[in-house]
Amino acid sequence: DAGGSVIEGWIGWNFKSGKNTHRVYARYTAASGDDDAADDTDDAFRPLFGDFHNRLGHGDFFQVSGDSTQLGGGGLVTDLGINAFAVGWNGRFGDRSELGAEYWSFTTSEDVVFSPTVSEDALGTEIDVWYNYNYSKNLTFSASLSQFSPDDALTGVAAAAPDDTVTRLYGQARFRF
């Protein structure tokens, strides 16, 4: 008996100044988890295909799914779901350059239970900064820096797991034909 759900939305505002276009926006994504893996229902969202890059931040720390984050620590189990909220800005300068920044907050749809009286849903926060350069209409170079700060659902309420921040720097070339 399956009954997972997902919702995703963006809202923003673009404004233009000469050849430059700026956008401020907010994003929200939620995928249901399964509150009781032992019963005969599966309430976690099960996507048909894998996720794509930058859906929940440039660092790709999480996916839109009811499955576990796979980041471990803090007694994390499967089927917790995800709630992700972001605010951001990006600017396109002329027809070649784009610069942007986002702030993400992540929680689980289902609480992580540490004991009968202690539970937590806060996974952490992420900050992304990126730059894209359109070399031509077919070739784009990108660089991004992402920093994730874990919260109690990953580190454990009693600091059972490390709470070090994680930083990812990546670059890519995208060729379209």
| pLDDT per residue as tens digits for the range 89-125 | 999 999 899 999 999 999 888 776 666 555 678 889 9
Residues 79, 31: Cα–Cα separation, whole Å: 10
Indicate if the pLDDT at residue 74 is higher than 50: no
- Contact (CB, 8 A) for 84 and 7: no
In this predicted structure, what is the pLDDT of residue 117? 55
- Contact (CB, 8 A) for 57 and 147: no
- The structure's pTM equals 0.83
Beta bridge partners of 17: 20
- Binning pLDDT at 50, 70 and 90, where does residue 69 land? low
Q: What are the φ and ψ backbone dihedral angles of 169, each rounded to 5 degrees?
A: -120, 130
In this predicted structure, what is the pLDDT of residue 75? 45
Query: What's the pLDDT tens digit per position in 34-58?
Result: 776 677 777 778 777 777 788 899 9
Cα 138 → chain centroid: 27
In this predicted structure, what is the pLDDT of residue 103? 98
- The SS3 call for residue 89 is strand
Q: Of the spans 4-8, 129-133, 151-155, which averages the highest pLDDT?
A: 129-133
